[in-house]
Structure 1
Amino acid sequence: MLYLLVIQGGNYLFPLLLLPYLGRVLGVTEFGVLAYCQAIVQYLILLTDYGHNLTATRLVSVQRNDPAALSAVYSATMAAKLALTFVSFVLLLGGVLFVPGLSAHWPILVAAFVGVVANAVTPVWLFQGLEQMKSLVLPTFVSKIASFLCVVLLVKGQGDAALAALGISLGNVILAVAALWMIHRRRRVSLIATSWAGMRASLGEGFPVFLSLVLVSFYVNFNSILLNYFHGPTVVGQFAMADKIRVAAQALFMVIGQAFYPRISHCNATDPAAAQDLMRTAMLAIFGCALGLFAAIQLLAGWGVELWLGEQFHASIFLLRLEAVLLPVISVAFVFGNLGLLALGRVQVLKNVYAGVTVLHLLYVVPLTRYLGAEGTIISVILTESFGAAAFALLYFREVRPPAHARA
C-alpha cells in the first residue's frame, strides 16, 4: 500500500503542480482546449487499457507461482494491447481527418497520443499482480520529474498547448521504457509466442470490464464535451480544474483499494474468510480517507484555489466544493464494486450496473448541463454515482450473504 501511495502520489502530485503553471501561462480558454483534447484522448487510453489493469492483475495474482502460465498471461495481454493500440491510432487518424472539431486541434491530439502508446505498453498490472510495486517507485518519480521539467521548459505562452501535451506524454514514455527493461532484466516472465486464440481469450477476459469502463468513461468524459458544446472552453477550463483536483484527491483512497485488490482476489480463491476480513479492513480505511478528504476540501478550497491558481479560476472554488461530494459516494462504489464484486469475478454484474446508470445519466445530464452549466454537470454525476454505489452495495451483500439454510 505504501509503495502504491508513493507511485500514485507521483502520478498526481506533479500534474497538480503543473495545473497552476498551465492555467496561468495558457489562460483559461486554452487550458479548456487542452482539457477538451485530453478528454478525447482518454477514450483511446480506455480502449488500450481494455480493463486489463483489473482482469490481468487478477490473473497474475492467481498464476504468480506458475512461471509458464504467468508468461502466457503476460504475452497474451501485451499482444492484445498492441492490437488495441493500432486500432486507437486508426480511430484518431480518422477523427483528425474527417471531424472538423478535432482537425483544428490535431497537434495537441497527436502529442497526447504518444502518451497513449506508452501507457499501453507499460505493464503496471503485472507488477501489481505480483505485489512488486516497490520496483516502480523510482522510475515513476524520475518520469514525472522529467515530464514536469519538459512542460515548464517548453510551454511559454498561449499557443503552446500541444507542447504541454507532448511534455506530459514524455513522462509516460520514460516509465514504459524503465518498466519493460526491469521485466527483461529480472526474467520473471518472458514473451512467448501467442496464438490468435490466446489473444482473443485475453480480449474476452477483459471485455466485460472494458465495457463497464467504457460506460463510466462515456459519461465522465462526455461531460467536458457537452459543456464545451453548450458553454464553450472557458467554462470547460473552470470545470476541468476542479475535476482534476477532485480526481487527484480521489486517487488517495483508490490507491488503498488497489493495494488490497490482488490480495482479496487471491484470498477469494483460496480463503474466503480471509477475504472478508480484508474487505472489512479496506472499508474502514477507504471510507475514512474519503470522508477526511471531503472535509479538507470544504475547509480549504477557497484559500487553496485563490493562492494556488489565481483569481482567474475563482469560479472553480464552488465547483470544487460541489465535486467533493463525489468522494464519499465514489468510495462506496469502489469498495463494493471493485474490491467486492470484481474481485469475486462478477464482471457481468458490474457491466449491467454501469449500463443502467449510464442510461440514467443521459436522461438528465443534457438538461442539467444546458441550464445550470458546470454545476448541473457535477450534480448529474453525483446522481449517477449515487445510483451506482447503492446498486453495488446491495448486490455485494446479496452475493456474500449465506444461504437461508446456512443461516438457519
Structure 2
Amino acid sequence: MVPSKNRILIKNVASLGVVQVVNYIFPLLTIPYVSRIIGPEGFGLINYITAFVSYFVLIVYYGFDLTATRKIAVDPDNLAIRSAVFSEVTCARILLFLVTIAGFLICISSVPLLSENVKLSLVLFLTVVSALLTPQYVFQGLQKLPVLSMLTVVKGVVNTSLIFIFVATKEDLLLYASITVFSNFLISLIAILYVIFVIKIKFTFYSISHTISILKEGRLIFFSSIIFSLYTTTNIIILGFFAEATTIGYYTTAVSFIIIVQSVVNIPLSSSLYPYIGKSFSESEENGIVKLRKIVPLVFYFTAAICLGILVLAPFVVLFIYGKSFTGSIISVQILSFLPLISAMSSLMGIQTMLNLRMDNLFLKITSFAACFSLVLNVLMGYYFSYIGTSISYLLTELLICASFYLILKNKGLILFKKENFKFKNVITQVQNMRNM
C-alpha cells in the first residue's frame, strides 16, 4: 500500500464521513418539527408515493453509480475516458427518462392513492429529473467525493431553511414535498455544472443504437438494483394493501431512521472504498482480497457498536425526534436496528468483492432469490402482523443475502473473515497503521 494512496483513502472516508454526519443532522433538525405537523398519516402518504417514484428513479440511475464508477476508476486521469463515460451515461439516462414519464402516467391513472393525490404525485415524480442530472459516478470514480458531499451540505442548508420558513400547518404537505424536490434538483444541477466547467468533462451525443448497447452492457447490475428494491421498497407498497396511511407512516418512519443511520455509517465507507478497492482488484485479485481482509474487522466493530446503540436507545430516540404520535415506530426501529451491520457486511462481500471480481451473474441470482423470498414473506407477514411483520421480513431478507454472499465466497476459497484479524489487538494496530500512512 503506497502512502499517498492511503492518504487519499483516509481523506475520502474521513472528510466524507464528517460531512455526511453534518448533512444528516439537517433531517434530524427538521423531522421533529415536521413530524408534529403532518403526523404519521402525512409521512405515510408521502412515503407511499415515493415508493412508486423510487422505481422510476432506479430506472434512470440504471446502476451507473457502479458500472460507470468502475470504468472511470480504472484510469481516473484519462480525460477521454471520463468524457466518454459521462456522455454515454447522460444519453442513456435521457432515453430512460422518457420511458419513465409514460410509465408514471399509467401508475397515476391506475393506482387509487396516486390518482387521489395527483399534485403530490407529480411533484414527487420530479425527483426523477434530479436522478437524470446527478453525476455522482464521476465523483466516485475520481475519488472526489468530498466535493459532492459539500454540495450536499448546501442542499441541507437550503432545504432546512425553507422548511422552517414556509411549512407551518398540515395543509402544507404539498409545499413540504416541493421543498425537498427543489433541494435535490439544486444539488444535482450544481454538481453537473461542476463536472462540466471545473473537471472539464466534455459531453457528446451518442446515437440511439450506441446508447442501447450501453444499456445492454449494464443490464445485469440494473436488474440487481431493481431486484434489491423488491425487498426495500415494494414492501411498503404491499403493506399498503393491508394497512392505512398511519400504519404505513409507522413503518416508513422506522425505515427512514435506519436509512439515515446507514447513510451516515455505510455510504462514506462504501462510496470511498469502492473505487479504491476496485483499483486494487484490477492490479491483482490477491491484492484486493488482502486489503479487504484488513478493512472488514474495522467496519464490523464500528457498525456493530452503532447497531447496539440503536437497539437500546430506540424508545428514547423515536419519542424525542418524532413525538408521541409515532410510538408505534419504536418496535420497528428495534427490529431493524442491526441492518447497518448486515448491510455493511453484505456490501463488502457483494459489491466490493463479487462485483469487482465480475461475479455479476452470481450476484444477480442471489438477489433475485432473495427478492422472491421477500415478496412471499412480505405478503404473509404483512397480512398477519401488519408493519411489524413487514419489519421482520426486511431483516430476514437482508440476513439471507448476507449469508448467501458469505457461503458463495467461501466455496470459491475467498475468505474475508479471518479470526486473527478480528482480535482487538490486531484491529487497533491496523487503525494505527492507517493513521500513520
Q: Normalised by the shorter chain, which TM-score bucket? A: over 0.9
**Residue in 2 aligned with 1:342?**
355
* CA-to-aligned-CA distance 1:231-258 (integer Å, 9 cap, x gap): 2111111111111111111121232122
Instruction: State the alpha-carbon separation in 1 of the partners of residues 325 and 15 from structure 2.
Output: 36
Residue 120 in structure 1 maps to residue 132 in structure 2: yes
1:354 shift after superposition = 0.8
Q: Secondary structure at the match of 1:160?
A: helix
Aligned residue type for 1:221: T
Unaligned runs of 5+ in 1: 403-408
1:383 shift after superposition = 1.5
Report the identity percentage: 26
**Residue in 2 aligned with 1:374?**
387
Instruction: State the alpha-carbon separation in 1 of the partners of residues 26 and 215 from structure 2.
Output: 33
**Residue in 2 aligned with 1:12?**
24
**Residue in 1 aligned with 2:231?**
219
**Residue in 1 aligned with 2:418?**
none
Instruction: State the alpha-carbon separation in 1 of the partners of residues 220 and 78 from structure 2.
Output: 26
Q: Write out aligned runs for 1:203-282 (5 A).
A: 203-251=215-263, 252-282=265-295
* CA-to-aligned-CA distance 1:61-112 (integer Å, 9 cap, x gap): 0132322222111100111111112211221122223433311112112111
* CA-to-aligned-CA distance 1:276-295 (integer Å, 9 cap, x gap): 23212331232122201111
* CA-to-aligned-CA distance 1:282-326 (integer Å, 9 cap, x gap): 312321222011111122111122222211111211211111132
Instruction: State the alpha-carbon separation in 2 of the partners of residues 86 and 34 from structure 1.
Output: 24
User: Out of 97, 100, 118, which is 1:106 matched to?
Assistant: 118
Answer yes or no: is the 8 Å Cα contact 1:291–1:328 preserved in 2.
yes
**Residue in 2 aligned with 1:387?**
400
**Residue in 1 aligned with 2:419?**
none
Q: Write out aligned runs for 1:63-142 (5 A).
A: 63-142=75-154
* CA-to-aligned-CA distance 1:26-60 (integer Å, 9 cap, x gap): 12212211111111111111111111111111111
**Residue in 2 aligned with 1:200?**
212
Instruction: State the alpha-carbon separation in 2 of the partners of residues 16 and 228 from structure 1.
Output: 26
Instruction: State the alpha-carbon separation in 1 of the partners of residues 156 and 304 from structure 2.
Output: 28
1:365 shift after superposition = 1.6
Instruction: State the alpha-carbon separation in 2 of the partners of residues 110 and 44 from structure 1.
Output: 13
Residue 365 in structure 1 maps to residue 378 in structure 2: yes
Q: Secondary structure at the match of 1:389?
A: helix
Unaligned runs of 5+ in 2: 1-12, 416-437
Q: Secondary structure at the match of 1:193?
A: coil
Aligned residue type for 2:404: A
Instruction: State the alpha-carbon separation in 2 of the partners of residues 3 and 128 from structure 1.
Output: 14
Residue 182 in structure 1 maps to residue 194 in structure 2: yes
Instruction: State the alpha-carbon separation in 1 of the partners of residues 30 and 100 from structure 2.
Output: 27
Answer yes or no: is the 8 Å Cα contact 2:258–2:337 preserved in 1.
yes
Instruction: State the alpha-carbon separation in 2 of the partners of residues 195 and 7 from structure 1.
Output: 39
Aligned residue type for 1:140: T
Instruction: State the alpha-carbon separation in 1 of the partners of residues 76 and 343 from structure 2.
Output: 30
**Residue in 2 aligned with 1:146?**
158
User: Out of 43, 53, 67, which is 1:31 matched to?
Assistant: 43
1:127 shift after superposition = 0.8
**Residue in 2 aligned with 1:406?**
none
Instruction: State the alpha-carbon separation in 2 of the partners of residues 154 and 113 from structure 1.
Output: 21
Q: Secondary structure at the match of 1:338?
A: helix
Instruction: State the alpha-carbon separation in 2 of the partners of residues 298 and 292 from structure 1.
Output: 10
Answer yes or no: is the 8 Å Cα contact 2:82–2:138 preserved in 1.
no
Aligned residue type for 2:38: L
1:401 shift after superposition = 4.0
Q: Write out aligned runs for 1:280-299 (5 A).
A: 280-299=293-312
Answer yes or no: is the 8 Å Cα contact 1:58–1:262 preserved in 2.
yes
Aligned residue type for 2:142: L
RMSD, aligned α-carbons: 1.8
Answer yes or no: is the 8 Å Cα contact 1:23–1:309 preserved in 2.
yes
Q: Write out aligned runs for 1:49-68 (5 A).
A: 49-68=61-80
1:155 shift after superposition = 2.1
Answer yes or no: is the 8 Å Cα contact 1:260–1:282 preserved in 2.
no
Instruction: State the alpha-carbon separation in 1 of the partners of residues 208 and 22 from structure 2.
Output: 37
The farther-off stretch of 254-263 and 268-277 is: 268-277
1:10 shift after superposition = 5.2
Answer yes or no: is the 8 Å Cα contact 1:264–1:339 preserved in 2.
yes
Count how many residue pairs are aligned between Structure 1 and Structure 2.
402
**Residue in 1 aligned with 2:343?**
330
Instruction: State the alpha-carbon separation in 2 of the partners of residues 201 and 269 from structure 1.
Output: 24
The farther-off stretch of 77-86 and 89-98 is: 89-98
1:178 shift after superposition = 1.2
1:191 shift after superposition = 0.5
Q: Secondary structure at the match of 2:143?
A: coil
